[in-house]
Every structure is written in C-alpha cells, then in structure tokens.
Structure 1
Amino acid sequence: MSSKLIPSRSLFVSVALLMAGNGLLSIYLSVHMTLEAFPTPVIGVVMSAYFAGLVTGAFYGDRVIYRVGHIRAFAAFASVATSAVLMHGLFSWAPTWAVLRAVTGFAIAGLYVVIESWLNAHATRANRGRLFSLYMATSILALGLGQFLLNVGHPNTTDPIILAAVLLALCAVPVSLTRAVHPNLPERTTFSLRELFRRAPVAVLGALGAGLTGAAFVTLGPVYGVQSQLGIPGVSALMGVTVLGGLLLQWPMGSLSDHYDRKRMLVAVNFGVALVSLAILLSGTRSIPGLLALATCFGGLTYLLYPLSVSHANDLVDGPFFVQVSAGLLFAWGLGSAIGPLLAASVMAVMGPDGLFLYTMVLSVGLGVLAWTRQEAAVHTYAQSPFVALTRTTPVIAELDPRAGLD
C-alpha cells in the first residue's frame, strides 16, 4: 500500500470488522426469527427498524462527534452498538428487537461518520480515488464474508450474537490506538428532495428503488432461504454471493455507463433485476448452483442502482452541489430501505417465500417504466461525469468521492 495510504490502514481494519459483524448480525436475526416461527410481516418490521435508525444516525450522529471529538465518539458509538447487539440475546420479543435494531442502526451510522470523515481528511487529489475505491471494496467484501460467519454457531443459539458483538467491539481498537490527526467534520449539508426530484427524477427513483429492492432482499433473503429448505450453509452462501456479486459488476458496468446514457442504463438495470427475479421464480431451488449464479447476478444488478443514480444526478446538477445531491439521494435510499422490508414481507405472508422475488420483479418493472417515461434534460455521453462505485452510508462519504472536487 502506498505510504500516503498508510495512516488509513487502521481505519480500513475497523471498517472490515464493523461490516463483518454487522453482516453476521443481520443474517442471524432473520434466520433466527424464521426458525422461531415469527410471522414474516413481524420480521419485516423488526429488520426495517435498522434502516430507520441508520438513516437517522447518518444525518444526526455528527452532533455527538462535534461535542466530544472523533475518538471518544467512535468509542461511544461502538459501545452502544455492542451493547445493543448483546441485548438481542437477553430478549426474544419482537418490539424489543425492533428498538434494538433502530439503536444499532443509529450507532453504526455514527461509526460510519467518524470513519468517513477521517478518510476524507487523508484524501488528496492524488489519492482520493484509490481511498474511495478501497473503502468501497473493503466494505462490500467484509459484509459478504460476514454472511458466511453464520456457520460458526447455530442460529438457535446466542453464539452468532456473541461473535457479532466481539467484532463490533474490536472495531474500536484500531481507531482508538491511531496516531492520525483528528479530522474536521464538514459543514452540515442541506438539500431539497423536491428540487432534486424536479431536476433529476430518474436518479431519485433509482435511489428509492435501490432501497426498496436491496433492503428487502438483505433482510428477507435469509427468510426465503430457510423457508425454501436451503439449510444454514445454503442460506449463508445465498446471501454471501449476492453481496459479493454487488462488487463484481460495479466496475465493468460502471465503465459501460460512462459511454451510454445513464437514464437508459438505470432503466435496463431495473428490467434486468426483474428478469433475474423471474428466472429465480421459475427455477426455484431445484438447482442450488443455478440459484447461487442467479443470486450473484441479482446482487450485481441491485448494487448498481444506487451508484448509477448518484452518477446520473451528478450529470444533471451543478458540480458545487454534489454533496447536497448525494445527501438527498441517501435520504431517498434510506426511505426505501425502511419501507421495502415491510412491503416485501407482506407479499411473502400471502405468497410464501416466492413472494420475495415476485415483489422485486413487479417493483423493478414499475420503476423501470417510471424511469423510462420521466422527462429530463438530455445529457450527451461526453459530458457525463465518470462513474464511481459507491457505498450507502452517510453524507460524509460524498466528500471522499473524487467527483466532489475537494482538496
């Protein structure tokens, strides 16, 4: 690793531990509640609470950092997240778990704010792109590998909870011991979602759809796997390849979008998600390798929706407003993420496990048609901003994006 990136090593270790623990907890809770015969709509409510807490913490968690500084705030958020995770093992009551999921989401968003503002402080014009790409790759890889940690202990025990809590607690160690200079937080971003929708409606629809589709699968994919009799190894493999598939298609499809109209790309990706969903509905679980291959494609396409939406919005909105635009799209994604599991769970309650992919198919077709019919200002491909693979965490990450043009 370049010497210019060495101060960030501790941050990347923290990111990996955080994402692995978070990924393990998410799949564990979905599987555990399914095995304990929680109604699917109840599972949807509990799991959607995490995203409500996450988007709230993304916009308001910085208040803690302003008061006590980055290291103290990171330690506090890590302690709250770890405590909330461990408390899942003390209760098995859905309302309590929903509150704990919201608290966990808020605390993890605070951890993201600290990490991303610190990375932004290390970023220069010379290394911003490498830092951003490495952060994104580390996040998705660790999240994907976290799914496979479900095999360490049976979901009917508290072993996965303890392991997830250990990973979240350990993520505070590298940051607490770092000698790097404390960064300054950027000014609070303000945005008008209505104005953003007026100028870039397809981008807003894309970000909303990314939340509606992606969060539904992340939270209810394990439910689908358990109800389809895949077994614990099969469920973890299904979720793991979906997340890792999101990493594999980022750069080739992103490069393609630099040469073609991004509105059409968003329409095509939505229809692609619908086609893959239909293929899974038709093939079912008769061939596990076939299901995993389709799940990889599903993850690759759904993970493209958000970065394509940000790139498309940046094509239509003036460069100085890039951070505000990203904040607006993050809010749209968070809104979709909080609603998606509720809607998908309702469909699954009626249709069974196949209801998950029936939901993603119908939703993606609807979003694709809406995106196709919306009128926007034309953008020539030579005038498009370059595609950048993105994570969906906090508004601070927008300042690390090379397109933000910050020193």
Structure 2
Amino acid sequence: MRRIWKSFRALYFATLLMLLGSGLLSTYLALRLAADKVDGLWVGALMAANYIGLVLGGKQGHRLIARVGHIRAYVACAGAVTAAVLGHGLIDWLPAWLFLRMLVGLGMMCQYMVIESWLNEQAAASQRGQVFAGYMTASYLGLILGQLVLVVHPTLGLELLMLVALCFALCLVPVAVTRKIHPAPLHPAPLEPRFFLQRVPQSLTTTLVSGLLIGAFYGLAPLYATRQGLSTEQVGLFMGACILAGLVVQWPLGWLSDRSDRAVLIRGCALLLTLIALPLAIMPSVALALLLPLGFLVCLLQFSLYPLAVAFSNDHVEGERRVSLTAMLLVTFGVGASIGPLLAGVLMKYFGANMLYAFFSFCALILVWRIRPDKVTHQHQVEDAPLHHIPMPDIASSPLVAALDPRVDEQVVQEQMQSAPEPQEPPVPEPDTPR
C-alpha cells in the first residue's frame, strides 16, 4: 500500500483538496443562509443544483476532454469552479447562487473523470482494489477535514469562501505539473435504462433512495443542526462525525456483504435506518450528547446503501455491461440526490427541522417495502457471484469509476474507453502561391 500511495500521491492529494473545498462549501452555504434567516427550501435547492451539475457534467466532461485533452480540461474546470466559488461572495442574489452551484457540480464532475481515468491508466490489474481504496479514503478524508475547518474557524465570513477557492486553485497544481502520459481517449458508456430496469430493478430502487437520502443529508443536515441550537463549531463537529461514519462502515460492510445475501442486507439496513431515525424525527429538540451518536448511526446505515446496491447489481450483470451499469447507477443516484434536498426542504419549511429525519425514516421504509429477497430469481446471476464487495464513494465519482473496480474485466474497460476515435485536427490550409 505504501508503494501505491507513493505512485498516486499527487492524484490523491488533488482529490483530498477538491473534496475539502466541496464539503466546506456545502456546509458553509447552508449555515450562511440559516444565519440570514433564508427559507430552508433555498438550501435544498442549492444542493439539488449541485447534483444536477454533476449529472450534466458526466456528458459534457467527455466532450471537453476529447476536445482539449485531460490536463487542459482539468485546469479549465478547476479555474471555472474557483471563479464560481468566489462568485458566491460577490453576488447575494440567490437565483445566481443556483447557477454558480450548478457550475461547481459540472466542473467537479469533469475533474473526477480526469483523475479516475488517470488512476485507471496507471493502476495494474492486481492493484485496482487498493488504488480505489486509496481514492475513496482521500475523498472521505477531504470531506471530514472540510467540516473540521468550521470547528477551528467558526466565523462565517468571506475568508471561508476564499479558503474553498484556494483548495480548488491548489488542486490543479499536481495535475498540471505532471510528466505522465495522457490517459486513453474517453468514450461515454451507454446507459441502457430499459435493460437495467428489467435486470436489476431492486438495485436501481436502492440507488435512487440512497440518492434521496445522501442529497438531503449534505444539503440540509447543517440547517437541521443549526435549528437545534448548535453553534458553528458544533455543526462542524456533528457533520464531521456523520461523514466519518461513511468511511468507518465501508470495510466491515464489505466483510459482511461477501458473506450474506445482499438483498437481505439492504432490507435489514433500511429497517434499522427507519427505526434509528425515528427518535430524531419525533423529538423537536435534541441535545448534542444524543444527537452525535444517533446522527453517527443514521449515517452509518445511509452510507451503506449505495455500495450494497452496486455490489448487488454487479452480481446480476455480465462483465461487458458493467461500465454501462456504473453509469446508470450514478445517473440514478444523481437524480435522487437532486430531488431529495427539495422534498426534504419543503417538509422542513412547513413542519419543522426534525422532518429531515422523518424524511430519512420514510425513504428507508420505502426500501423495506420494495426490496424483496424472495423475488430475486438469480436467473441472470454471474457464475462467480457474490462478487467481492468494493467500497464505493457516494458522491466523489464519475461513470469512469467502473474502470477502477477490479470486478470489471480490464480488457472490457479498455475496449469501451478506447472505442471512440481520437478527435481529428482540422487540416491546415496551404498558403496561397503567387500566380
């Protein structure tokens, strides 16, 4: 692992800085709007705009990278994201913030695609699991550090926006100065929604609900904590503890997933989530001593759903379709994450802040109802199922994340990524000769 860290430390460091800035920006905007007594629906709309940008970036990123190359695309998007972050400090008009938030999401998706394709290009087949684990660890660590910044610096001034912009400006340095060869040209993976809806409907349902939960959490949990009377430092501590749960659960979850029926595991996690979120949904006011452990447990279960859905779906899809499957899962997650903050924001506006956890409990109850282990026919289950469980990040990934997944055949990935012809340079006209 030490050798892998040394080989990929520049890309891991760029990822950490990106997620540190992104995590801090999400919480800062929520706390800033809460301090200004802005309607909570706007907070949800901002997070929804971010995920809409991520979904749109999956398509636009391929075009930009094919047109100008990986490094130029990454540098351009890092510059655009930095400008969009600083724009939040220059403009107080909330509709403009929605556009800026969408621009941040779109630019970050392109950055994810560059980093993930580079990791895939440089990782040996035998190292993919470890390389991806390092990438996921850098992602979660960046998110956690972004929350802890608020503990150290609780003042909600423009200096925090400057720090976020600084992170996005610095994250382009390791990529811009690299001497490594450009990764292979990218080719968008087909979604095939009808095929996957028929083949893995329960996995897509789990992915959609996971998007609803995670989108609402990142967008509205800081607002919920503020309305519980927590100070800025305590909000940072609460958010950091919740995101830490997402990192802590991945390896025990993988051990359990490889030894249990994954449909039963998804339903069990959903049932526990329904019950554990109920106290926070019922109690209008919660002390920090109770909020921290309950919030940690809720997120422990929330962050389990998407990796389980990915593993469950891979068990029933052939290797040559797994890149397309990953693209379909991420789009489904993005759609849910775009809708979740809006729905939860409406509930919080009309019925109180505790409705955020009522929303979590209701969404989990949907999974308890819809996930039926007895309905899994195993008709299309692959021969070596259950496949090895791979921890998956819930927000820091692009459709290319499948290329790092050791469950996906490397040759299939390379064929799908290189099947598009390289962009042709326009012919240079010959100079006119005198007649």
- Shorter-chain TM-score: which interval? over 0.9
1:137 aligns with 2:137: yes
> Which sections of structure 2, spanning at least 5 residues, go unmatched?
412-435
Query: 1:293 and 1:54, CA in 2 relative to 1: closer, same or farther beyond 3 A?
Result: same
Equivalent position to 2:405, from 373, 382, 401:
401
Q: Work out whether residues 282 and 358 of structure 2, in 8 Å CA contact, stay in contact via their aligned partners in 1.
A: no
The alpha-carbon deviation at position 85 of structure 1 amounts to: 0.1
Equivalent position to 1:390, from 380, 392, 415:
392
1:124 aligns with 2:128: no
Q: How does 1:81-92 map to 2 (within 5 A)?
A: 81-92=81-92
Query: Partner of 1:179 in structure 2?
Result: 179
Question: 3-state DSSP class of the match of 2:407?
Answer: helix
| Larger displacement relative to structure 2 (123-132 or 381-390) | 381-390
Question: 3-state DSSP class of the match of 1:38?
Answer: coil
CA distances 1:151-210 after superposition (whole Å, capped 9, x unpaired)? 454454211111100011100011111122211134220022222121111100111011
| Larger displacement relative to structure 2 (273-282 or 262-271) | 273-282
Q: How does 1:40-189 map to 2 (within 5 A)?
A: 40-154=40-154, 156-189=156-189
Q: Tell me, in whole angstroms, the C-alpha distance in 1 between the residues paired with 2:99 and 2:382.
A: 47
Q: Tell me, in whole angstroms, the C-alpha distance in 2 between the residues paired with 1:155 and 1:309.
A: 39
Q: Tell me, in whole angstroms, the C-alpha distance in 2 between the residues paired with 1:143 and 1:18.
A: 9
The alpha-carbon deviation at position 363 of structure 1 amounts to: 1.4
Query: 1:194 and 1:10, CA in 2 relative to 1: closer, same or farther beyond 3 A?
Result: same
* Percent of paired sites with the same residue: 35
Structure 2 length-normalised TM: 0.90
Q: Tell me, in whole angstroms, the C-alpha distance in 2 between the residues paired with 1:357 and 1:5.
A: 38
Q: Tell me, in whole angstroms, the C-alpha distance in 2 between the residues paired with 1:354 and 1:275.
A: 15
1:257 aligns with 2:261: no
Q: Tell me, in whole angstroms, the C-alpha distance in 2 between the residues paired with 1:369 and 1:82.
A: 43
Q: Tell me, in whole angstroms, the C-alpha distance in 2 between the residues paired with 1:272 and 1:60.
A: 39
Q: How does 1:156-235 map to 2 (within 5 A)?
A: 156-235=156-235
Query: Partner of 2:328 in structure 1?
Result: 328
Question: 3-state DSSP class of the match of 2:260?
Answer: coil
- Structure 1 residue identity aligned to 2:351: M
Question: 3-state DSSP class of the match of 1:316?
Answer: coil
Q: Tell me, in whole angstroms, the C-alpha distance in 2 between the residues paired with 1:374 and 1:83.
A: 52
Question: 3-state DSSP class of the match of 2:327?
Answer: helix
Q: Tell me, in whole angstroms, the C-alpha distance in 1 between the residues paired with 2:20 and 2:217.
A: 18
Q: CA RMSD in A?
A: 1.8
CA distances 1:247-299 after superposition (whole Å, capped 9, x unpaired)? 10111122111111111111111112212211323566544233111211122
- Structure 2 residue identity aligned to 1:57: G
Q: Tell me, in whole angstroms, the C-alpha distance in 2 between the residues paired with 1:351 and 1:331.
A: 30
Query: 1:394 and 1:380, CA in 2 relative to 1: closer, same or farther beyond 3 A?
Result: closer
Structure 1 length-normalised TM: 0.96
Question: 3-state DSSP class of the match of 2:229?
Answer: coil
The alpha-carbon deviation at position 4 of structure 1 amounts to: 5.2
Query: Partner of 1:353 in structure 2?
Result: 353
| Larger displacement relative to structure 2 (37-46 or 110-119) | 37-46
Query: Partner of 2:342 in structure 1?
Result: 342
Question: 3-state DSSP class of the match of 1:404?
Answer: coil
The alpha-carbon deviation at position 405 of structure 1 amounts to: 1.9
The alpha-carbon deviation at position 7 of structure 1 amounts to: 3.3
Query: 1:23 and 1:160, CA in 2 relative to 1: closer, same or farther beyond 3 A?
Result: same
